[in-house]
Amino acid sequence: MTIRNLDTIGDDPFSGNEYDVCICGTGPAGMTVALKLADSHRVCLLEAGDLEFTKRSQSLYEGVVSGEDYADLDTIRFRQFGGSSVAWGGTCRPLDARDFEKRPLVKYSGWPIRREDLDPYLAEARDILNANHGEREHCSHPAPDWLPPMDGYEEMSYWESYPRVNVGVKYRAFVENHKNIDCFLNANVTDIRLDDGLRSVTHFEVTGYDDRKFLVRARQFVVAAGGIENPRILLNANRQIPSGIGNENDLVGRFFAEHPHHQLGEFILEDEPKKRLDEELNKPRKPIELTGRFFRPDDQKMRDERLLNHSLEFEPVTTPARTGGDGLFKRTLRTMLCASETIREAAEAVKDGAITCEQNVDGYVTISSEQEPNHESRVRLADERDRFGLRKADLHWRHSALDRRTVREAAYYAASKLALSHTGRMRLERWLREEEVHLPGPHANTASIVYGPHHMCSTRMSDSPETGVVDPDCRVFSCDNLYIAGSSVFSTAGFANPTLTIVQLALRLADHLKTRLA
């Protein structure tokens, strides 16, 4: 009935206790399950970090990157109360109905559930995430518009979390005061103990930073530690089953997906569209209104042109520099200097403000794309071990030819559409003009951001243990009472930011656990 720090507890706080549910992780997934179950069931909520950031906790997220170029693993997720929601961007959108469907083009596509199975949880998920403003599912813009009709694409929108949610802040008092929740900080789940038949979990082993070990007993267990840590925990739980729990078919950690997220280029507008854009930008806006315009391909375009699902954004530059700022001479000089790609790239590499090549354009085009489910894209265990003796995560992220093709085709579509409709002209990033496109990583010298960070599909949901780790109820196939919450259970990634779907799935999991516990 409070939040306790394992560092300062003398006796074994778990001795003699059996919880209904024990949850590992206090991010949006774990927190949601706890919120929903607490009124009727006893919940143990385990957080490996503290209420605030601590270096000793965060350093346990260090790992190895062996696949595509990626950021250091301790810089793109947070091991503290509230999980990675402490630095969440706040963009919400449900997956498309077609994301759940089987597509002939995409091997391993299709979920064992439909979007209709998650729809009943949408309103509550939006409430939890403060994304219940602006009922703008479909966009409409009064003609004349500054963008041309995008044939083959449909305009769409996102909901913004406002004020932006950190579930650790929003629900701290709830957790502290709820009689049915025992929450422990600095409590690292270091093993999952099974019964003699190896079919049920009996305990989570919890280790404190003073290396004391405790056993937490519960009827049902939930691992909700994020898309890299979930498979790492299962794979490291190898004392009784050498390959790790749920890994009988060597699928734990496989199919890891991100959202390739790239700036494709910049654009300038012809006079009339520019005038219309200026008028639009000068209108008063609410804080939750995005200035960008978002488009997704329609079903026919995806099918006919063999593309993955993706979102194209046309984002106007809204800073004062767009309409001037510098004097004419300086502006002209900069424009001419920046016409040389060598100078542009040098300026981007230095980033000290001496030369800025980004200010004279009217906007940028970016993409956030689905990835094809890829058996070889995976989270695996590195040889290096952490302070508890557990093997660190090795992220072996891969892009496929279809991933690259989707990004390239979308970029060329946007550029040709702007020119042929006499709307504007777009400059394509250099990497898009190579004969064979390679998606740049964060260490490449480009203007691109390259990931969500969204860590998905690494314990994917399926209707068969041959192709997934969890069943449609998010239960690990080979274990009667072990569940996974979070985007690691996504079967496919879609393009939408995953947090809203994570919370929908967590609400659905809570309903399922209530039934199991009844």
> Stretches 227-235, 339-347, 444-452, 504-512: which one binds other proteins (CB under 8 A)?
339-347
CB of 308 to other proteins, least distance (A): 18
- Dmax over CA atoms of the chain, in Å, equals 79
CB of 333 to other proteins, least distance (A): 10
CB nearer to other proteins: pick between 381 and 410: 410
CB of 340 to other proteins, least distance (A): 7
> Stretches 231-239, 318-326, 364-372, 417-425: which one binds other proteins (CB under 8 A)?
417-425
> Stretches 119-127, 161-169, 331-339, 379-387: which one binds other proteins (CB under 8 A)?
331-339
CA distances from 118 to 37, 75, 111 (A): 18, 31, 12
How many chain residues are in contact with other proteins, going by CB under 8 A? 33
> Stretches 103-111, 176-184, 223-231, 420-428: which one binds other proteins (CB under 8 A)?
420-428
Answer for which of 416, 443, 444, 464 binds other proteins (CB under 8 A) is 416
- CA dist., res. 39 & res. 180, Å (int): 7
Please tell me whether residue 419 binds other proteins under the rule CB under 8 A.
Answer: yes
Using the CB atoms, write b or e for 475-506: b if 16+ within 10 Å.
Answer: bbbbbebbbbbbbbbbbbbbbbbbbbbbbbbb
Please tell me whether residue 339 binds other proteins under the rule CB under 8 A.
Answer: yes
274: its two tokens: 């520019």
Per-residue interface string for the shown chain with other proteins, residues 342-371, x marking contact by CB under 8 A: ------------------xx----------
- CA dist., res. 228 & res. 60, Å (int): 12
User: Taking CB under 8 A as the criterion, which residues in 143-162 touch other proteins?
Assistant: 148
CB of 296 to other proteins, least distance (A): 19
- Helix or strand or coil: residue 232? helix
- CA dist., res. 241 & res. 454, Å (int): 29
Which residues of 353-504 form beta strands (DSSP E)?
A: 363-369, 378-385, 391-396, 424-428, 482-484
- CA dist., res. 87 & res. 165, Å (int): 9
Answer for which of 143, 354, 420, 518 binds other proteins (CB under 8 A) is 420
Please tell me whether residue 72 binds other proteins under the rule CB under 8 A.
Answer: no
141: its two tokens: 């813009």
Query: Within a 10 A sphere around the Cβ of 303, how many other Cβ atoms?
Result: 14
CB nearer to other proteins: pick between 293 and 417: 417
CA distances from 84 to 27, 127, 243, 470, 480 (A): 6, 18, 28, 23, 29
Nearest-CA neighbor of 95 among 506, 502, 371?
A: 502
CB nearer to other proteins: pick between 46 and 437: 437
Answer for which of 271, 352, 383, 466 binds other proteins (CB under 8 A) is 271
- CA dist., res. 138 & res. 120, Å (int): 20
96: its two tokens: 């498309």
If you search the block for the tokens 């919940």, which residue do you land on? 43
CB nearer to other proteins: pick between 201 and 307: 307
Query: Which helix or strand (DSSP H or E) is residue 216 part of?
Result: strand 213-223
- CA dist., res. 98 & res. 173, Å (int): 39
Classify burial at 174, counting beta carbons within 10 Å of its beta carbon; exposed 0-12, middle 13-18, buried 19 or more: middle
Per-residue interface string for the shown chain with other proteins, residues 276-315, x marking contact by CB under 8 A: ----------------------------------------
CB of 354 to other proteins, least distance (A): 19
CB of 305 to other proteins, least distance (A): 9
Query: Which helix or strand (DSSP H or E) is residue 92 part of?
Result: strand 91-92
- Helix or strand or coil: residue 193? strand
CB of 424 to other proteins, least distance (A): 9
Please tell me whether residue 127 binds other proteins under the rule CB under 8 A.
Answer: no
User: Taking CB under 8 A as the criterion, which residues in 422-451 touch other proteins?
Assistant: 422, 425-430, 433
CB of 315 to other proteins, least distance (A): 18
> Stretches 283-291, 382-390, 407-415, 471-479: which one binds other proteins (CB under 8 A)?
407-415
CB of 230 to other proteins, least distance (A): 41
> Stretches 21-29, 87-95, 187-195, 418-426: which one binds other proteins (CB under 8 A)?
418-426
CB of 336 to other proteins, least distance (A): 6
CB nearer to other proteins: pick between 152 and 465: 152
Please tell me whether residue 268 binds other proteins under the rule CB under 8 A.
Answer: yes
Query: Which helix or strand (DSSP H or E) is residue 155 part of?
Result: strand 153-156
- CA dist., res. 76 & res. 451, Å (int): 10
- CA dist., res. 203 & res. 206, Å (int): 9
CB nearer to other proteins: pick between 243 and 332: 332
The residues binding other proteins (CB under 8 A) are: 148, 265, 268, 270-272, 274, 332, 335-336, 338-341, 360-361, 412-413, 415-422, 425-430, 433
